[in-house]
Every structure is written in C-alpha cells, then in structure tokens.
C-alpha cells in the first residue's frame, strides 16, 4: 500500500494545501492514517474521500451536514500505529522515547490548529476585499445616479418605451445594491469580530505552546538526571 502526505493529496486533487490540512483535521474520523516519524500519512484511497468532501461543500452543505453524509457513506477509522519498536534495555531510555512521542504528537496537533486559524483568517481577508470592492462600485453608481438627476429633464412624450424600461431596471438595481450594501456592512462587522476572536485564540495557543515546551523540557531533564 502506498502512503501519501497531505501535500501529495493537495497536488493530486488540486485542493489548496491549507484547505486540505483543514479537511484532514475536521474529518479525521473518516480518513485512515498512520504516523511516520512526525508526519501523518494516508493511503491513496482517501483521495476519493477528499474529492467527496469538496463536492459536498460545493453543493452548499456545512461541516456538520457533511459529517453526517460521510457517516452513511464511509466507515469510521482509527489511526494505524507504526510497527512497535523493540523495548529498550534501560527504563530511562523508554521514558525518554515515550515523552518524546507525546511531545511530537502535541506539537503536531497544535500546528494543525494554528494552520486552521491561519486558513480562516485568509478567507476572512478575501471576503473583506470583496466587500470593499462592492462598496466602491456602489459609490460609483451613486455618483452616476446623481449626475443623471442633474441633467435637464427630457420631454416625457419624446421618451421611448425602451428607455422607460431601462430606467425602471436601473432603479430596481439601485434599490438592490443599497440593500446589498447594508447586508455587507453587517457581515463585515461580524467578520471583524470573528477575526479578533481568532487572533486572541492564536495568541493563547502560542502561549500554551511555550508553556508545554518548558514543561516537557523540564520532564526530560529530570528523567536524564
């Protein structure tokens, strides 16, 4: 069986690497895997599961709904452990290996959490750029409307039915854009709040990481002594 990394899955499926790592974390119960050193690898069969996840997101499903779908389509899995190492002759060495494995697993999980937060932050920034573009378009449209109103009024009798239809369509679009701008302003405030929460969580995770590193280093020094 060939074992592949998240980077290999990203290249094969075309899914961006940060997104593929986020899927691997969110739906790990459906993705058989094994640890090879500090890297988690998957059998080639999981490519179909990743493609199914992308398809479900494209259909408009949210994460909880996708998980329910996967429960009915794929069995839940557990992580496959690598071949057991030969038992060391000295208890101190065994303790160091066990502590090192626990530290590596903790660091990997924390790294995945930081990657998910960074990916979410990138998505929010992209949405914020789209909102700013729509705001600029609305300002330009408002200026155009103002200039049109300042033009001399035309004789109603000389207006054609086609012009009347276009004028009504423009007014409808103007109303829709005003409503959209209002919705986008509310969404922008919500996104800003989420970003602040994520940045706070990122600071907390980094602080916890430093504390855990100090804790494990102290443990290792005690075992060695």
Question: What was the pLDDT predicted at 90?
Answer: 47
Let me know: does 42 contact 33? Beta carbons within 8 Å. yes
Question: What was the pLDDT predicted at 110?
Answer: 74
Question: What was the pLDDT predicted at 166?
Answer: 85
pTM over 0.85, yes/no: no
Question: What was the pLDDT predicted at 99?
Answer: 64
Question: What was the pLDDT predicted at 126?
Answer: 79
145 contacts: CB under 8 Å, gap ≥ 6: 174
Separation of first and last alpha carbons in the chain: 43
Question: What was the pLDDT predicted at 3?
Answer: 93
Question: What was the pLDDT predicted at 194?
Answer: 87
d(CA 96, CA 114): 27
80 contacts: CB under 8 Å, gap ≥ 6: 32, 33, 34
Question: What was the pLDDT predicted at 86?
Answer: 37
The CATH architecture one would assign to domain 1-84 is: Orthogonal Bundle (1.10)
pLDDT tens digit at each of 225 positions of the chain: 789 999 999 999 999 999 999 999 999 999 999 998 889 999 999 999 999 999 999 999 999 999 999 999 988 765 555 554 433 444 444 455 556 666 666 777 776 667 767 677 767 777 888 888 888 887 888 888 888 777 666 555 666 778 788 878 888 888 888 888 888 788 888 888 888 888 898 899 899 889 988 998 888 988 987
């Amino acid at each position: 069986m060939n074992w592949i990394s998240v980077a290999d899955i990203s290249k094969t499926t075309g899914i961006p690497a940060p997104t593929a790592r986020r899927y691997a974390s969110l739906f790990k119960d459906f993705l058989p895997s094994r640890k090879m050193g500090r890297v988690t690898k998957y059998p080639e069969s999981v490519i179909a599961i990743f493609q199914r996840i992308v398809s479900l997101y494209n259909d408009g499903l949210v994460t909880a709904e996708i998980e329910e779908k996967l429960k009915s389509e794929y069995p839940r899995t557990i992580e496959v452990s690598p071949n057991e190492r030969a038992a060391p002759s000295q208890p101190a060495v065994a303790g160091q290996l066990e502590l090192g494995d626990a530290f590596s697993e903790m660091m990997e999980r924390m790294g995945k959490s930081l990657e998910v937060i960074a990916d979410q932050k990138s998505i929010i920034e992209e949405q914020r750029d789209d909102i700013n573009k729509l705001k600029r378009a609305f300002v330009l449209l408002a200026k155009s409307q103002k200039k049109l109103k300042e033009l001399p009024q035309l004789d109603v009798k000389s207006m054609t039915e086609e012009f009347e239809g276009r004028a009504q369509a423009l007014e409808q679009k103007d109303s829709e854009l005003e409503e959209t701008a209002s919705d986008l302003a509310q969404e922008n405030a919500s996104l800003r709040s989420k970003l602040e929460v994520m940045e706070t969580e990122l600071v907390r995770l980094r602080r916890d990481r430093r504390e855990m590193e100090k804790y494990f280093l102290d443990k290792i020094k005690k075992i060695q002594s």
